Chain A
Amino acid sequence: GDSVTQMEGPVTLSEEACLTINCTYTATGYPSLFWYVQYPGEGLQLLLKATKADDKGSNKGFEATYRKETTSFHLEKGSVQVSDSAVYFCALRERGSARQLTFGSGTQLTVLP
Chain B
Amino acid sequence: NAGVMQNPRHLVRRRGQEARLRCSPMKGHSHVYWYRQLPEEGLKFMVYLQKENIIDESGMPKERFSAEFPKEGPSILRIQQVVRGDSAAYFCASSAGDNTEAFFGQGTRLTVV
Contacts and interface: CB of A to CB of B under 8 A. Distances in A.
Nearest to B102: A101
A97 to B, nearest CB: 7
Interface stretch (A12-20, A37-45, A53-61, A66-74): A37-45
Nearest to A46: B101
A43 B104 contact: yes
Contacts, number: 61
B98 A44 contact: no
Contacts of A42: 106-107
Query: Taking each of B101, B102, B105, which has the highest tally of chain A beta carbons within 10 Å of its own beta carbon?
Result: B102
The contact size tier of chain A is: 20 to 34
Contacts of B63: none
A89 interface: yes
B98 A101 contact: no
Contacts of A110: none
Contact of B42 (A43, A45, A104): A104
Nearest to A106: B42
A46 to B, nearest CB: 6
A44 B95 contact: no
Interface string A96-113: 111111111110000000
Contacts of A106: 41-42
Contacts of B6: 43
